[in-house]
Amino acid sequence: MNTNLRQNSTVTEAEWREFEDIGYVRLGVVAPEEQIDALCERIDEIMLGNIRYEGMQMQLCPSASDDRDKVNFSGNHKGSSLKYRKIQELEMDPLFRDYIRNPLFRDITRKKIGDRVSVFRAMFFNKPAEGGVSKNWHKDSGWNLSIPEEITVYTALDPQTRENGCLMVIPYSHKECPLEGVKTEETIRKYAPPEKRVFMEMDKGEVVLFKNQMLHSSLVNTTNRPRRAFSIAFVHADTHNITSGRRYPQVLPEYRPAANA
């Protein structure tokens, strides 16, 4: 039994203020430990290929393979391995879908988006044991959406520490750093200098809600255990990609896979 389980399935006024001001807010553990364990087991089964979904986007970790086809992020399974880097479209899986529809996330999306909600991406981010790749400073924005993206709910499926490449963030960067983010050494020094970096060490199951425009990054995993995480970028269900017209799977109030041709 997880003693840190959040009891309140609404975000408080103080939490909303923190989110708007700093760019992120820690929400604690929002699902029972058994549910997080079940997600970990499920994602391992998906990586191993024991459970498969047609077209699910997957990428093997570049630290685990030299084969360019396997480290390509595309809609087919790349072989039975726990060394995947990214798996997207997890809303297709009933266990992940259930988690996406957690009452606290309903409260968040109702307040920030409305009643009809889709996921731009429901994505597993993995740093395999003694490996993984670092992720440069970036914003989760510029996705060319008809209704601009705003929020991500990020869950640590394993405890996150400095040693295993925890999420790092720059408080206030959603306000201070221009929309295009940091592309050069000079802009990294200006907007993400070492003294502003926060190592977001997290417990297993802990959730952080962040603004997509907040700068974040992560380093490699130097431990002998995996560092698994699940990141959900929620958007309004009417959102489409301005260039391609692509639509996104609706998850609230009910699940409707995207009807893309």
Ligand X SMILES: O=C(O)CCC(=O)C(=O)O
Q: Which residue, 46 or 210, is less far from ligand X as judged by CB?
A: 210
Q: Which residue, 112 or 135, is less far from ligand X as judged by CB?
A: 135
Q: Which residue, 155 or 239, is less far from ligand X as judged by CB?
A: 155
Chain contacts with ligand X (rule: CB under 6 A): 125, 135, 140, 152, 154, 167, 216, 218, 229, 231
Q: Which residue, 104 or 123, is less far from ligand X as judged by CB?
A: 123
The values of phi and psi at residue 178, to 5°, are: -60, 160
Q: Which residue, 86 or 246, is less far from ligand X as judged by CB?
A: 86
Least Å distance, CB 211 to ligand X, is 12
Q: Which residue, 152 or 239, is less far from ligand X as judged by CB?
A: 152
Buried b (16+ CB within 10 A) or exposed e, 10-42: ebeeebeebbeebbbbebbbbbeeebbebbbeb
Residue 81 CB-half CA count within 13 A: 22
Which tokens belong to 115?
């009643």
Residue nearest to ligand X (CB): 218
Least Å distance, CB 259 to ligand X, is 26
Least Å distance, CB 195 to ligand X, is 21
Least Å distance, CB 171 to ligand X, is 16
Q: Give the rounded distance of the alpha carbon of 228 from its chain centre.
A: 10
Q: Which residue, 154 or 240, is less far from ligand X as judged by CB?
A: 154
Least Å distance, CB 125 to ligand X, is 4
Least Å distance, CB 5 to ligand X, is 23
Least Å distance, CB 76 to ligand X, is 23
